[in-house]
Amino acid sequence: MSHPLLIAIDLDGTLLTDAKKISPRTKKALQLAMKQGHKVVISTGRPFRSSEPYYQELQLDTPIVNFNGALVHHPIDHHWGVFHTPLQMNVAQGVIRTSEKFGVRNIMVEVLDEVFLREHDEVIMNTFFDPSLDVNKLPEILHTDPTSVLIHPHEHNVDQLRRFLEEEHAEVIDHRKWGAPWNIIEIVRSGLSKAVGLERVCASFDIPAKNVIAFGDEDNDIEMLQFAGTGVAMSNAIPQLKEVANTITLSNEEDGIAHFLEKHVL
């Protein structure tokens, strides 16, 4: 096979089963693809610290896209560069003030691998963060441009808050909603997406977009699937993603990635 492909994989709801594991069949398919000379790249909304175990497990040697494109770096090749595009401080402060007006449940601010939380919250801590992680109280005044701001609103406020953020801050932020049961609104700098991160990775390998196969399931995967020559939605994906996908594979619980790769690539 003369043209290497770049296989871009989202983590939650796509590569990972609902138990947050990589199934043996999917792992085997991805490793076989790498043996055949294709590049496998994780592209996720997660920070690096919570994607690294999967990067290691797949034995990847490629760059990784984190925070929906706000951070792109190469965990092994330190000469590759680190591309970090944080929110501007005044914008982050504005978003935090807007959210506080809505009396949201919680606000999390991530600066690369540092985490600040407005309210101590066992559930959030145990679900999203490694127990060994040092989580600080969100200061009244931020001192560093944050990579992302996560808002945990009350259920009945989710859509209203998103509309309000859109009106107040549309020029400077992009916001995504995490899937149920969380309904967390994630805010990064405007113009960022997984596609922007992947474009950088493709350029470094000299792989054109038409040779990209991207797998996803949520609204933060839309641009990535549009960018890819072949955008593949999982059968558990949201309807909007299925609309922009070129094709639909089985769900994350049914080895959807392996199913597609075995049929079309391997």
Q: How far is it, in rounded angstroms, from Cα 67 to Cα 89?
A: 17
Question: Given this model, what pLDDT does residue 218 score?
Answer: 92
Q: What burial class does residue 150 get, using C-beta atoms within 10 Å of its C-beta: 0-12 exposed, 13-18 middle, 19+ buried?
A: buried
Q: Do domains 6-84+192-264 and 89-189 have the same CATH topology?
A: no
Give the range with max mean pLDDT: 122-136, 171-185, 208-222.
208-222
Residues whose CB is less than 8 angstroms from the CB of residue 203 and which lie 6 or more positions away in sequence, other chains included: none
pLDDT band at 237 (very low <50, low <70, confident <90, very high): very high
Fold of 89-189: 3.30.1240
38-95 tens-digit pLDDT: 999 999 998 898 899 999 999 999 999 999 999 999 999 999 999 999 999 999 999 9
The strand ranges marked E within 16-58 are 39-42
144-167 tens-digit pLDDT: 899 999 898 888 888 888 888 888
Give the residue numbers annotated as catalytic, written as ranges.
10
Region of 233 on the Ramachandran plot (φ > 0 left; ψ -120 to 50 alpha; else beta)? beta
Least confident of 40-54, 118-132, 143-157, 236-250: 118-132
224-236 tens-digit pLDDT: 999 999 999 999 9
Question: Given this model, what pLDDT does residue 207 score?
Answer: 97
Domain boundaries, the chain: 6-84+192-264, 89-189
Question: Given this model, what pLDDT does residue 179 score?
Answer: 64
pLDDT band at 2 (very low <50, low <70, confident <90, very high): low
Mean of the pLDDT values across residues 246-258? 98
Rg (CA), the chain: 18
Mean of the pLDDT values across residues 15-35? 97
Residues whose CB is less than 8 angstroms from the CB of residue 118 and which lie 6 or more positions away in sequence, other chains included: 106, 107, 108, 137, 138
In whole numbers, what is the pLDDT of the chain averaged over residues?
91
179-236 tens-digit pLDDT: 666 778 889 999 999 999 999 999 999 999 999 999 999 989 999 999 999 999 999 9
- Tell me how crowded residue 1 is: count the other CB atoms within 10 A of its CB: 8
Length of the chain (residues)? 266
CATH of region 6-84+192-264, choose from 3.30.1330.10, 3.40.50.1000, 3.40.640.10, 1.10.3720.10:
3.40.50.1000
